[in-house]
Amino acid sequence: MQLEHVVNFATHPISDPQYEQACKQQLDQEGVLILKNFLSPTARAAIITEGEHKKTSAFYTNSGHNVYLTQKDAALADDHPRNKWVHSSKGCITDDQIGLDSPLRVLYDAQQLRSFLAVVLGEDTLYPYADRLSSINLHYASEGQELGWHFDNSSFAITLLLQSPKAGGQFEYVPKLRNASQGDMNYAGVDRVLKGEVEAQAIPMGAGDLMLFRGRDALHRVTPSQGEITRMLVVLAYNAEPNVSLSESARMTFYGRLT
Protein backbone atom coordinates (compact mmCIF):
# COMPACT_ATOMS: atom_id res chain seq x y z
CA MET A 1 0.00 0.00 0.00
CA GLN A 2 1.35 3.44 -0.95
CA LEU A 3 1.24 6.48 1.33
CA GLU A 4 -1.40 8.16 -0.86
CA HIS A 5 -3.70 5.24 -0.02
CA VAL A 6 -3.03 5.63 3.72
CA VAL A 7 -3.25 9.41 4.31
CA ASN A 8 -6.19 11.62 3.36
CA PHE A 9 -4.09 14.10 1.37
CA ALA A 10 -7.12 16.02 0.09
CA THR A 11 -7.82 17.21 3.63
CA HIS A 12 -4.28 17.09 4.97
CA PRO A 13 -1.68 18.28 2.41
CA ILE A 14 1.24 17.49 4.68
CA SER A 15 3.88 18.62 2.15
CA ASP A 16 2.36 22.11 1.82
CA PRO A 17 4.50 24.62 3.79
CA GLN A 18 1.47 26.78 4.60
CA TYR A 19 -0.39 23.77 6.00
CA GLU A 20 2.68 22.75 8.01
CA GLN A 21 2.96 26.19 9.57
CA ALA A 22 -0.75 26.39 10.37
CA CYS A 23 -0.52 23.05 12.18
CA LYS A 24 2.62 24.14 14.03
CA GLN A 25 0.98 27.36 15.16
CA GLN A 26 -2.02 25.51 16.56
CA LEU A 27 0.16 23.00 18.41
CA ASP A 28 2.36 25.77 19.82
CA GLN A 29 -0.65 27.75 21.03
CA GLU A 30 -2.83 24.95 22.39
CA GLY A 31 -0.44 22.09 23.12
CA VAL A 32 -2.66 19.74 21.14
CA LEU A 33 -3.42 19.27 17.45
CA ILE A 34 -6.15 17.00 16.06
CA LEU A 35 -6.07 16.15 12.36
CA LYS A 36 -9.57 14.84 11.67
CA ASN A 37 -9.94 11.85 9.32
CA PHE A 38 -6.20 11.78 8.70
CA LEU A 39 -6.27 8.09 7.88
CA SER A 40 -8.08 6.83 4.80
CA PRO A 41 -11.05 4.49 5.48
CA THR A 42 -9.33 1.70 3.52
CA ALA A 43 -6.14 1.94 5.57
CA ARG A 44 -8.05 2.17 8.85
CA ALA A 45 -10.07 -0.96 8.01
CA ALA A 46 -6.89 -2.86 7.13
CA ILE A 47 -5.18 -1.86 10.39
CA ILE A 48 -8.23 -2.81 12.46
CA THR A 49 -8.30 -6.21 10.76
CA GLU A 50 -4.60 -6.67 11.56
CA GLY A 51 -5.21 -5.58 15.14
CA GLU A 52 -8.09 -7.99 15.62
CA HIS A 53 -5.99 -10.88 14.28
CA LYS A 54 -3.14 -10.09 16.67
CA LYS A 55 -5.17 -9.16 19.73
CA THR A 56 -4.51 -12.49 21.47
CA SER A 57 -0.75 -11.92 21.08
CA ALA A 58 -0.84 -8.61 22.95
CA PHE A 59 0.84 -8.07 26.32
CA TYR A 60 -1.77 -7.04 28.87
CA THR A 61 -1.02 -4.92 31.93
CA ASN A 62 -3.15 -4.04 34.94
CA SER A 63 -1.18 -1.87 37.30
CA GLY A 64 -1.02 1.14 39.57
CA HIS A 65 1.24 4.17 39.32
CA ASN A 66 1.43 7.80 40.39
CA VAL A 67 0.86 10.65 37.96
CA TYR A 68 4.61 11.33 37.71
CA LEU A 69 5.37 7.73 36.70
CA THR A 70 7.90 7.51 39.51
CA GLN A 71 8.33 5.41 42.63
CA LYS A 72 6.54 6.40 45.84
CA ASP A 73 8.45 8.69 48.23
CA ALA A 74 8.64 7.20 51.72
CA ALA A 75 9.45 10.64 53.14
CA LEU A 76 5.97 11.87 52.15
CA ALA A 77 2.55 10.97 53.55
CA ASP A 78 0.53 8.22 51.88
CA ASP A 79 -2.10 10.75 50.78
CA HIS A 80 0.48 13.07 49.20
CA PRO A 81 -0.07 13.45 45.41
CA ARG A 82 3.35 11.90 44.81
CA ASN A 83 2.16 8.76 46.60
CA LYS A 84 -1.43 8.56 45.36
CA TRP A 85 -1.88 5.59 43.05
CA VAL A 86 -4.05 5.63 39.92
CA HIS A 87 -4.99 2.66 37.77
CA SER A 88 -4.06 1.77 34.18
CA SER A 89 -4.91 -1.34 32.17
CA LYS A 90 -4.46 -2.10 28.49
CA GLY A 91 -3.11 -4.50 25.91
CA CYS A 92 -0.29 -3.75 23.51
CA ILE A 93 1.37 -5.24 20.45
CA THR A 94 4.81 -3.92 19.59
CA ASP A 95 6.70 -2.79 16.53
CA ASP A 96 8.10 -6.23 15.78
CA GLN A 97 4.54 -7.62 15.65
CA ILE A 98 3.38 -5.12 13.02
CA GLY A 99 3.34 -6.65 9.53
CA LEU A 100 5.91 -5.54 6.97
CA ASP A 101 3.06 -4.75 4.56
CA SER A 102 0.89 -3.03 7.17
CA PRO A 103 -0.38 0.50 6.41
CA LEU A 104 1.08 1.39 9.80
CA ARG A 105 4.54 0.49 8.53
CA VAL A 106 4.01 2.54 5.37
CA LEU A 107 2.85 5.51 7.45
CA TYR A 108 5.55 5.36 10.11
CA ASP A 109 8.44 4.91 7.66
CA ALA A 110 7.31 7.60 5.20
CA GLN A 111 9.82 10.44 5.03
CA GLN A 112 6.99 12.71 3.89
CA LEU A 113 5.15 12.19 7.18
CA ARG A 114 8.34 12.35 9.25
CA SER A 115 9.32 15.69 7.68
CA PHE A 116 5.83 17.10 8.34
CA LEU A 117 5.89 15.99 11.97
CA ALA A 118 9.37 17.44 12.49
CA VAL A 119 8.26 20.86 11.25
CA VAL A 120 5.09 20.87 13.35
CA LEU A 121 6.95 19.72 16.47
CA GLY A 122 9.84 22.12 15.93
CA GLU A 123 12.44 19.36 15.65
CA ASP A 124 15.27 19.17 13.12
CA THR A 125 14.77 15.47 12.37
CA LEU A 126 12.79 12.56 13.81
CA TYR A 127 14.28 9.10 14.28
CA PRO A 128 12.75 5.69 15.07
CA TYR A 129 13.58 3.87 18.27
CA ALA A 130 16.72 1.76 18.14
CA ASP A 131 15.04 -1.17 19.90
CA ARG A 132 12.67 -3.46 18.01
CA LEU A 133 9.63 -2.90 20.24
CA SER A 134 8.95 0.78 20.77
CA SER A 135 8.48 2.62 17.46
CA ILE A 136 4.93 1.47 16.65
CA ASN A 137 2.62 0.29 19.44
CA LEU A 138 -1.01 -0.71 18.97
CA HIS A 139 -3.01 -0.40 22.19
CA TYR A 140 -6.25 -2.17 23.13
CA ALA A 141 -8.69 -0.98 25.79
CA SER A 142 -11.62 -3.35 26.26
CA GLU A 143 -14.54 -3.02 28.69
CA GLY A 144 -13.37 -1.29 31.89
CA GLN A 145 -9.80 -0.71 30.76
CA GLU A 146 -8.37 2.78 31.10
CA LEU A 147 -5.26 4.94 31.20
CA GLY A 148 -4.90 6.68 34.55
CA TRP A 149 -3.91 10.29 35.13
CA HIS A 150 -0.24 10.95 34.31
CA PHE A 151 2.32 13.32 32.85
CA ASP A 152 4.43 12.18 29.89
CA ASN A 153 8.20 11.95 30.20
CA SER A 154 8.67 12.79 26.52
CA SER A 155 8.11 16.25 25.06
CA PHE A 156 5.57 15.07 22.48
CA ALA A 157 3.24 12.17 21.70
CA ILE A 158 1.72 11.14 18.35
CA THR A 159 -1.35 8.91 18.40
CA LEU A 160 -3.80 7.60 15.83
CA LEU A 161 -7.26 6.48 16.93
CA LEU A 162 -8.48 3.47 14.96
CA GLN A 163 -11.65 2.45 16.75
CA SER A 164 -13.75 4.02 19.51
CA PRO A 165 -15.66 2.04 22.15
CA LYS A 166 -19.44 2.37 22.41
CA ALA A 167 -18.94 4.75 25.35
CA GLY A 168 -16.10 5.99 27.53
CA GLY A 169 -12.54 5.93 26.23
CA GLN A 170 -12.50 9.73 26.41
CA PHE A 171 -9.18 11.58 26.31
CA GLU A 172 -9.14 14.28 29.01
CA TYR A 173 -6.41 16.69 30.03
CA VAL A 174 -5.58 19.64 32.28
CA PRO A 175 -3.12 21.92 30.44
CA LYS A 176 -0.03 23.57 31.95
CA LEU A 177 -0.46 21.93 35.35
CA ARG A 178 3.25 21.73 36.07
CA ASN A 179 6.55 23.06 34.76
CA ALA A 180 8.86 20.07 34.56
CA SER A 181 11.79 22.01 33.11
CA GLN A 182 11.74 24.25 36.19
CA GLY A 183 11.24 21.37 38.60
CA ASP A 184 7.76 22.56 39.60
CA MET A 185 5.63 19.44 40.21
CA ASN A 186 2.59 21.46 41.42
CA TYR A 187 1.52 18.90 44.02
CA ALA A 188 -1.39 21.10 45.16
CA GLY A 189 -2.79 21.39 41.65
CA VAL A 190 -2.41 17.66 41.00
CA ASP A 191 -4.17 16.91 44.27
CA ARG A 192 -7.16 19.01 43.22
CA VAL A 193 -7.42 17.10 39.93
CA LEU A 194 -7.23 13.72 41.67
CA LYS A 195 -9.97 14.82 44.07
CA GLY A 196 -12.22 15.83 41.16
CA GLU A 197 -12.10 19.52 42.05
CA VAL A 198 -10.79 20.58 38.61
CA GLU A 199 -12.76 20.11 35.42
CA ALA A 200 -10.62 18.56 32.72
CA GLN A 201 -10.84 19.43 29.05
CA ALA A 202 -12.08 16.65 26.77
CA ILE A 203 -10.75 16.08 23.27
CA PRO A 204 -13.40 14.59 20.95
CA MET A 205 -11.24 12.25 18.89
CA GLY A 206 -12.87 10.21 16.17
CA ALA A 207 -11.76 7.07 14.36
CA GLY A 208 -9.04 7.90 11.86
CA ASP A 209 -7.91 11.07 13.67
CA LEU A 210 -4.23 11.80 14.28
CA MET A 211 -3.31 13.69 17.46
CA LEU A 212 -0.11 15.49 18.38
CA PHE A 213 0.01 16.27 22.08
CA ARG A 214 2.49 17.86 24.45
CA GLY A 215 1.87 15.96 27.65
CA ARG A 216 4.98 16.65 29.69
CA ASP A 217 3.28 19.48 31.61
CA ALA A 218 -0.38 18.61 30.89
CA LEU A 219 -1.95 16.01 33.19
CA HIS A 220 -4.04 13.62 31.10
CA ARG A 221 -5.92 10.32 31.09
CA VAL A 222 -8.23 8.10 29.04
CA THR A 223 -11.46 7.17 30.82
CA PRO A 224 -12.57 3.50 31.05
CA SER A 225 -13.95 1.96 27.86
CA GLN A 226 -17.57 0.84 27.97
CA GLY A 227 -19.29 -1.76 25.80
CA GLU A 228 -18.17 -4.71 23.73
CA ILE A 229 -16.21 -2.69 21.13
CA THR A 230 -12.52 -2.48 21.97
CA ARG A 231 -10.86 0.93 21.76
CA MET A 232 -7.85 0.64 19.44
CA LEU A 233 -5.20 3.33 19.29
CA VAL A 234 -1.73 3.46 17.74
CA VAL A 235 1.23 5.31 19.22
CA LEU A 236 3.76 6.43 16.61
CA ALA A 237 6.91 7.01 18.64
CA TYR A 238 9.87 8.99 17.32
CA ASN A 239 12.93 10.59 18.91
CA ALA A 240 14.72 13.86 18.26
CA GLU A 241 18.06 12.01 18.52
CA PRO A 242 19.26 8.84 16.75
CA ASN A 243 20.00 5.48 18.40
CA VAL A 244 17.64 5.92 21.35
CA SER A 245 16.14 2.82 22.97
CA LEU A 246 13.41 2.66 25.57
CA SER A 247 14.98 1.64 28.89
CA GLU A 248 14.98 -2.04 29.80
CA SER A 249 12.81 -1.40 32.85
CA ALA A 250 10.25 0.47 30.74
CA ARG A 251 10.22 -2.30 28.11
CA MET A 252 9.58 -4.92 30.76
CA THR A 253 6.81 -2.79 32.27
CA PHE A 254 5.07 -1.95 29.00
CA TYR A 255 5.81 -5.03 26.89
CA GLY A 256 6.80 -7.82 29.30
CA ARG A 257 10.01 -8.52 27.36
CA LEU A 258 13.21 -6.87 26.20
CA THR A 259 13.46 -8.18 22.63
- Alpha-carbon distance of 216 to 45, in angstroms, equals 32
**Segment 11-38 mean pLDDT:** 97
Residue 121's pLDDT is what? 97
With a pLDDT cut of 70, the percent of the chain lying above it is 100
3-state SS, residue 4: helix
**Segment 68-78 mean pLDDT:** 92
3-state SS, residue 66: coil
Q: 35, 24 in Cβ contact below 8 A?
A: no
Domains contained in the chain, CATH given: 3-255 (2.60.120.620)
Q: How confident is the model at residue 187 (pLDDT cuts 50, 70, 90)?
A: very high
Helix (H) or strand (E) segment spanning residue 120: helix 111-121
- Alpha-carbon distance of 250 to 4, in angstroms, equals 35
- Alpha-carbon distance of 71 to 83, in angstroms, equals 8
Whole-structure pTM value: 0.94
Q: 61, 89 in Cβ contact below 8 A?
A: yes
**Segment 102-122 mean pLDDT:** 98
- Alpha-carbon distance of 134 to 236, in angstroms, equals 9
